[in-house]
Amino acid sequence: MHPAPIPGNFTNRSEESRAASWGAGLKMADPGSDHDTLSLSEIYASIQGESTLAGWPCVLVRLAGCPFRCAYCDTPEARDERVGQRVPIGEIVRRVRSLGLPLVELTGGEPLAQDAARGLATRLLDAGYRVLIESGNSVSIEGIDPRARLILDLKTPDSGMSEQQRWENLALLKPEDEIKIVLCSRSDYEWARDLVLQRNLTEQHVVHFSPAEATVTSRLEDTPSLARRRRITRRELAEWILADRLAVRLNLQLHLWIWGRGRRGV
């Protein structure tokens, strides 16, 4: 079954053309074969919750394995590549097709930590799907099919992973790619605000600011360096953004509002 299009700008062909021309001359990863396998945590239908496409029905392909250990990680079950199930790319595409939605997000863990994920993205795009890739900025985004839209998750100091992230990825983003920053504290907010202003990020991309949600509070409080700091509230973050007249989007993880915290498969 060929996926039905989503109406509106989401299927804007000129956007695809721009993405394709942006990618001209870039070295693309070999898309590999249907028999290449990926370590898979889960596949399910949900509501996209953390981008400008929040609200659209979406297939989430959660790949296993991540080099990072963020203090607020809400998918610890997907961080170890060895616990995932090895599934051929052709089978993943079949499972996506069986869920009958035109939008697919590759997430994790860190989806790009497995080279074959780039081939999976290209297969899905060739089959007519719109593809989002949410990456935690721990590995290079080079070689990704330019028709895919990236959501690059920049790591704050309180995540514990700020120093290890791949800053060079910022220069590889296409204009339609988006940036997400999860914030644990006022000092995280100030760090993120100064970063987006100094690098003019909001003039180049949509930038999302999210408060670290309560699903991870206990882990945050288990982290000695963070225990003395109170978790920020959604309202505080909204008011800081307004006070600074910052051109970022407040992102409240829509799927958590619908299904609550700590549940898999939503």
Q: Which residue, 92 or 139, is less far from ligand SF4 as judged by CB?
A: 139
Q: Which residue, 122 or 165, is less far from ligand SF4 as judged by CB?
A: 165
Q: Which residue, 31 or 109, is less far from ligand SF4 as judged by CB?
A: 109
Distances from the Cα of 135 to the Cαs of 55, 66, 110, 138, 145, in angstroms? 20, 10, 6, 8, 14
Q: How far is the CB of 96 from ligand SF4 (least distance, A)?
A: 21
Q: Which residue, 66 or 132, is less far from ligand SF4 as judged by CB?
A: 66
Report strand pairing: 249-250 vs 206-211. Answer: parallel
Q: How far is the CB of 92 from ligand SF4 (least distance, A)?
A: 19
Cross-strand bridge partners of residue 211? 183
Q: How far is the CB of 139 from ligand SF4 (least distance, A)?
A: 10
Q: Which residue is nearest to ligand SF4 (CB)?
A: 136
Q: How far is the CB of 117 from ligand SF4 (least distance, A)?
A: 14
Q: How far is the CB of 220 from ligand SF4 (least distance, A)?
A: 12
Q: Which residue, 79 or 118, is less far from ligand SF4 as judged by CB?
A: 79
**Binding site residues, ligand SF4, CB under 6 A:** 66, 68-70, 73, 75, 79, 108-110, 136
